[in-house]
Amino acid sequence: MKINNIFKNKFKTYLQISSAMFVTNDGQYLLQLRDDKDGLPLRNHWAFFGGEVEKDEKPEDTLIREIYEELTFHINKFTWFHEAIYVFPKNKHRITRKNYFKVNIDVNEVSSMIQTEGSDMRLMHLSEILLLPNISPWDLSVIVMHEREKILFSK
Query: How many structural domains is the chain composed of?
Result: 1
pLDDT score at 68: 98
Q: What is the CATH number of the domain that holds 142?
A: 3.90.79.10
Distance CA 125, CA 59 (A): 27
Mean pLDDT for all residues in the chain: 89
Whether the per-residue pLDDT at 81 is higher than 80: the answer is yes
Write the pLDDT tens digit of every residue in 54-80: 999 999 999 999 999 999 999 989 999
Distance CA 49, CA 117 (A): 9
SS (H, E, C) the chain: CHHHHHHHHHCCCEEEEEEEEEECCCCCEEEEECCCCCCCCCCCCEECEEEECCCCCCHHHHHHHHHHHHHCCCCCCCEEEEEEEEECCCCCCCEEEEEEEEEECCHHHHHHCCCCCCCEEEEECHHHHCCCCCECHHHHHHHHHHHCHHHHCCC
* pLDDT confidence tier of residue 31, bands split at 50, 70 and 90: very high
Range of the domain at 134: 2-152
Write the pLDDT tens digit of every residue in 105-117: 999 999 999 999 9
Whether the per-residue pLDDT at 36 is higher than 70: the answer is yes
pLDDT score at 2: 53
